[in-house]
Amino acid sequence: MPVPADSRPYPIVYALRTVLTALAVALMVFAAPTPSSGQSVYIRSGGVLDVASGTVRSGQIVHVEGDRIAEVGPLSIPSGATVIDLGDNVLVPGFVEAHTHLALSTQQGRDFGRFFITNVIETTAYRALQGATNARSLLEHGFTTIRDLGNNGNYADLALKQAINEGWIPGPDMQTVGRIIAPFGGQFHLQPERPELIEPEYLIADTQDEMRKAIHQNLHYGTDLIKIVVDDFDYIYTEEDIRFAVDEVSRAGRKLAAHVATLQGAKNAIAAGVSSLEHAWELEDEDMRAMVAKDIYLVGTDFPPYYAGYFAGYDETRARALYEQRIDRLKRAYQIGVPIAFGADVTDQKDGHSRGSLTISFIESFLDAGVSAPDLLRILTINGATLMGLDNEKGSIEAGKLADLVAVPGNPLADPNVLQRVSFVMKRGVVYKRDGRFEWQVPTTIDAQ
């Protein structure tokens, strides 16, 4: 129902916005395409991964028109056409990282690796700038799509997404959750004189009314999905609480991601029918079978042992024990057939690594859990795209889909570790990395969103 004109606040703002929108549309219509987009390009490579069959096909040419794949097959390249020749490198779909936090970079030297302190001492602006570097790093390492699951201060994730979409900074396509919704305390240990230190990291919701309000706030600011923390304290969200949130979020056509750390939290979230369990360190086989039946994804964020030691400060023996327990859970989930998406949840620094290189190194956990190379590639591409509702657009190299393409120096089915050495990255038909070098031009045309 339209709002009566006289009840609108600041009508001049609306008038101005209408004029600006008309102007923006006019500019978009007449804007010249940026040099590397909107073109017709033929890509020659050492092979093209077909995600569905789990095979690498040779003799294939990928024809990209604008931001989409026009054709794939043994095409003849018209004379005079623009050709990208990747030599022996093999083309795979752009990777999907389903659990990251762009604007959270804990630093031992500044916050002792504790994100509560990050929240207290760092501004959202500073964190957003770090996020811009993390976004570029993920793209450079092959991640053309990410699900950012919160901990971004005061909605830095939305600003990053807008800046990437408009072309101000290079980065993956994003889905965002805004502020994470949680019972009192969020994921922090507060003290009674400083309860405000929860701000701006979490939206606190202890009742269903508060939950609805928090969901509406996030949706109003433009988030793509909602995330709740189920069980970081003894007072956990019940099945009824979570079902209430699922219903509220579903009505808005969105999905609910649930952070769960305990077995009971996982059981509540599965019974309520969330879209994904984040972490879910503890799962019994019957829980996993319920996840299969309800098509609930596991985004396990299982880190390699060296990361456990560094991130949690565990000694080698304890880090190894934690790792073994988590890999056992991942192995059982894989064998039972739980839908799995790749998510690394990297928030810390490691010498010699960027956000992107550290993130892709998490494939080692999947290989340790006995995941086959074709399934690892599905977990890294089409599964994440499906969880995000983007499987018609992303996740495989097929005519009609967006041209999100990555090349690696070898056949990843024979040696999955080549996925850690991405040589070429294209997102939506635009080349961001070529011959192992990142390339990006400061834009001269901004596509205002």
Of 56, 23, 81, 135, nearest in space to 414 by CA? 56
Sign of the torsion angle spanned by Cα atoms 213, 219, 220, 221: positive
Minimum separation from the CB atom of position 248 to Zn ion (A): 22
Minimum separation from the CB atom of position 279 to Zn ion (A): 8
Minimum separation from the CB atom of position 347 to Zn ion (A): 7
Minimum separation from the CB atom of position 257 to Zn ion (A): 10
Site map 82..111 versus Zn ion, x via CB under 5 A: ------------------------------
232 binds Zn ion (CB under 5 A): no
How many residues form the binding site for Zn ion (CB under 5 A)? 1
- Pick the piece of the chain touching Zn ion (CB under 5 A) from 53-61, 140-148, 212-220, 345-353: 345-353
Minimum separation from the CB atom of position 343 to Zn ion (A): 8
Tokens of 280: 């879910």
CB distance 37 to 427 below 8 Å? no
Beta strands 405-408; 424-427: pairing state: antiparallel
CB nearer Zn ion, residue 60 or residue 137: 137
CB nearer Zn ion, residue 140 or residue 345: 345
* Paired residues of 97 in beta bridges: 146
Distance, CA of 218 to CA of 227 (rounded, Å): 10
Minimum separation from the CB atom of position 99 to Zn ion (A): 6
Minimum separation from the CB atom of position 97 to Zn ion (A): 11
Backbone angles phi, psi at 130, to 5 degrees: -60, -40
CB nearer Zn ion, residue 224 or residue 345: 345
DSSP string for residues in 395-426: SS--TTSB--EEEESS-TTT-GGGGGS--EEE
Of 442, 419, 435, nearest in space to 94 by CA? 419
CB nearer Zn ion, residue 296 or residue 403: 296
SS3 20: helix
Task: Please pick, from the candidates 122, 345, 348, 364, the single residue that binds Zn ion as defined by CB under 5 A.
Answer: 345
- Residues between 148 and 167 that touch Zn ion (CB under 5 A): none
Residue facing Zn ion at closest CB distance: 345
CB nearer Zn ion, residue 97 or residue 364: 97
CB nearer Zn ion, residue 287 or residue 345: 345
CB nearer Zn ion, residue 149 or residue 430: 149
Distances (CA, A) of 318 to 67, 310, 327, 365, 446: 47, 12, 14, 17, 50
Q: What is the binding site for Zn ion (CB under 5 A)?
A: 345
